[in-house]
Amino acid sequence: MEKKTPLYDHHVALGGKIVPFAGYLLPVQYPTGVIAEHMAVRTAAGLFDVSHMGELVFTGLDALKNLNHMLTNDFTNMYDGQVRYSPMCNDAGGCVDDLIVYKVREGAYLVVVNAANKDKDAAWMAEHLAGDCKMEDISDTVAQVALQGPKSKEILLKLVGEGDLPKKYYSFIPKITIGGIQCLISRTGYTGEFGYELYCAAGEGPALWDLLLETGKDLGLIPCGLGARDTLRLEAAMPLYGHELTDDIGPLEAGLDFAVKLNKDDFIGKAGLEGRLPLSKVRVGLEVTGRGIVREHQDIYIGDRLAGQTTSGTHAPFLGKAIAMAYLSPADAAEGTQVEVDVRGRRVACRGVPLPFYKR
């Protein structure tokens, strides 16, 4: 039985096409359509309901020690109000999930995990907790919206002062009042665009959504669904769990070594990650040069040799071409490499291109 986010009735009222996703009923698009929603985020602003994401709070004297043991990144030198991305690995060096950590203060952290993995992650982390550290799953009490696009700051400045907004990328303000609603606001997002994510009490989510949409209307702000969220993250070459990251595919293959600190004290998956070196496959970008759209889980050929498989693929609205991400051996991963992808029995020509496809 799928759950509904606090904004479900608003999506229905706005004509959202509702689909099941990660255990929730969410809009895949609105009557505007995926392309218009995608372009709004690239040129003006879009508003996403991301209340399906999971929120876990870690508190205690050993909270930092626990996060450093469970996650591949290092959280030792974070300042209060900083956000840091990290994969979370299993013993073999594959991914349990990828997530972001918010340092509220010493001994208090908010961890935001993928919706589809929320229960699995909470169970995994609870199983590995040690010492003076408590984990609380507050997901059901939180509404989260993402305001993304070049005009997002201009929209928020109609509601708050410049000093109320986080200045640096991957930083946050823990308490800010917007239209009488208390929020945590971070300069983060999953679109490759400038933007913010706002968290508030679940019951106040609808009022926050309405306030932002009304405030941004004159600046081109529109509601956006899962379809545009996926095309935007793919243009920005952001990995998606279940596609570029899995229980078998780890962060090193995915090119996320910036978030893997093999030089820190032992952590879960460290030996497994080291055992994967040198890498047998790496994440690459493909641009479709033939006719057709490449999708995930399609075989890649170089001549008659099976060379790898795609993990995500679509038409990129802003770039105006079809793109895909895939895994190939390091020997086949050079920029400009000509490959063919088997699309339902038909070979479609592609070439290797650097990632990300789009950078603002």
DSSP 240-259: -BTTTB-SSS-TTTTT-GGG
Strand order in the sheet with 95-105: 83-89, 95-105, 108-113, 54-59, 134-137
Backbone φ, ψ for residue 137 (5° rounding): -90, 110
Tell me the three state secondary structure of residue 186.
strand
What Cα–Cα distance (Å) separates residue 103 from each residue in 36, 74, 109, 293?
36, 12, 5, 41
Say what the alpha-carbon torsion angle 278, 280, 283, 284 is, to the nearest 10 degrees: 110
Distance CA(358)–CA(230), nearest Å, equals: 14
Residues whose CB falls within 8 Å of the CB of residue 21, separated by 6 or more in sequence, listed in order: 28, 52, 115, 226
Looking at residue 157, its pLDDT comes to 98
What Cα–Cα distance (Å) separates residue 118 from each residue in 23, 84, 113, 138?
10, 18, 6, 11
| Pair type for strands 24-29 and 3-4 | parallel
How long a stretch of residues is the chain?
360
CA 318: distance to chain centroid? 19
pLDDT in 10s for each residue of the chain, 360 residues = 899 999 999 999 999 999 999 999 999 999 999 999 999 999 999 999 999 999 999 999 999 999 999 999 999 999 999 999 999 999 999 999 999 999 999 999 999 999 999 999 999 999 999 999 999 999 999 999 999 999 999 999 999 999 999 999 999 999 999 999 999 999 999 999 999 999 999 999 999 999 999 999 999 999 999 999 999 999 999 999 999 999 999 999 999 999 999 999 999 999 999 999 999 999 999 999 999 999 999 999 999 999 999 999 999 999 999 999 999 999 999 999 999 999 999 999 999 999 999 999
Place of tokens 């589809």: 116
Tell me the three state secondary structure of residue 192.
coil
